[in-house]
Amino acid sequence: MPTHALTKALAARLDELKRAGRLKGKESVICGFIPARGGDGPRYLVEGEGDKPFLRMNSNSYLGMSLRSEVVASEEAAVGSYGVGPGAVRFIGGTWSPHVALERRLAAFHRRPAAILFSSAYATVMGLIPPLVTDSTAVISDELNHNCIINAIALARPAEKCIYKHLDMGELERRLDAAAKSCNRAIIVTDGVFSMRGDHAPLDRIIALARTYDGAFAENAIVIVDDSHGVGALGATGRGAEENTQSAPADLLVATLGKALGVNGGYAVAEELVIQYLRETSPFYIFSNPITPAEAAAAHQALDILDSPAGLALLAHLREMTTRFRKGLVKLGFETLPGEHPIVPLLTRDSARTLALVAHLRQRSVLVTGLTYPVVPRGDEEIRFQISADHTPADVDAALVALAEFRPNE
């Protein structure tokens, strides 16, 4: 079938993205790693860079679980027992015992009655919001929510879509009050931790506000939280933004197995009937293969580590390294945002400066992610550093030395 007209149109669109500064371009290819040694954390090899070792400061693996020997051994053992893939969606081929065991463990960890696994946290959000939206539902969303929430709301087509200013509880209340006049159900949806800035939602206030307005809606005002960056990285025991704000439980809590837990997949925890309803109505669950049984076993092992004295030690070290890096940025005169999360933004306020700093750090063997306009608003350009429990004091200091050597006109 001829596609020359299509490819011409696609090429034009790519050119348009490039001119707008939205083209992501070639991805770095990680082709190996060097284990921690001599006071340094792990280093990574990048295709095209020979044997030059890189310090990764752009990974969501906040606890370093993907490299832990116990987690790797659990996955390898499960591959021997169950093979490398699930073979079918769960309602057709049946499910595997590691999936069921992991769902029970996740529910217990979050102190909820039930849990449901999806192929990713993105699929989880896309799979649970539309089935919960009716033609008399208002969805009320923070303006800085993740792309998966934005797309899930668009797919759901609620009766009313309301966006409130970032963390503005006054506007959230006004949106709830207005929605109560025309809708039977309200869904407040927010990130637990916002991935671009590392700040977190005041879940204690959001959930209290929802409870206040519960009686104004015939089918309640419910709260959905995507805490993919929070679970395993925030809170005294790694239970995320809920623990950090000492909030009541969200009605639906979404998180990922692919960040702090180091594996792959997403999940939600809630009341038993809600989870049962999602198993029967969510296309992202019904018609998509689950994660592999081996991934489920590895995630179970990672969760067991997190929920143990070893996990508390990892969290303590993560907090220490985060504080060390944030204080170092301030001492060097860089602008950052206060916070406890291991996402530490360095605000450059300029796209050209952002790109120059990313290139400078790469030349000095530090991998980071730059966020420029229009990915972020003009004036909010930044380097997003992500600290990991894999990092050592020497790693943090090496990154700070590289930053200190930056000269904007070099």
Q: Which of 66, 195, 228, 247 is catalytic?
A: 195
Per-residue DSSP letters for 135-157?
TTEEEEEETT--HHHHHHHHHH-
Q: Which of 229, 300, 341, 391 is catalytic?
A: 229
Q: Which of 259, 300, 341, 391 is catalytic?
A: 259
215/231 Cα distance (integer angstroms): 30
Active site residue 74: no
Q: For residue 313, give the DSSP letter.
A: H
Active site residue 110: no
- Given the structure tokens 């990130």, which residue do they identify? 191
Residue 87 identity? G
Active site residue 181: no
Beta bridge partners of 118: 266
Beta bridge partners of 46: 30
Residue 270 CA, distance from chain mean position? 19
Count of alpha carbons within 13 angstroms of residue 188, beta-carbon side: 34
Residue 18 CA, distance from chain mean position? 26
Q: For residue 27, give the DSSP letter.
A: P
Tell me if 381 sits within 8 A of 371, measured CB to CB.
yes
Output the six-digit token pair for 338. 């206060």
Residue 125 identity? V
Tell me if 343 sits within 8 A of 57, measured CB to CB.
no
Q: How far is CA 307 from CA 74, 227, 241, 245, in A?
A: 16, 17, 16, 19
Which amino acids are annotated catalytic?
Answer: 195, 229, 259
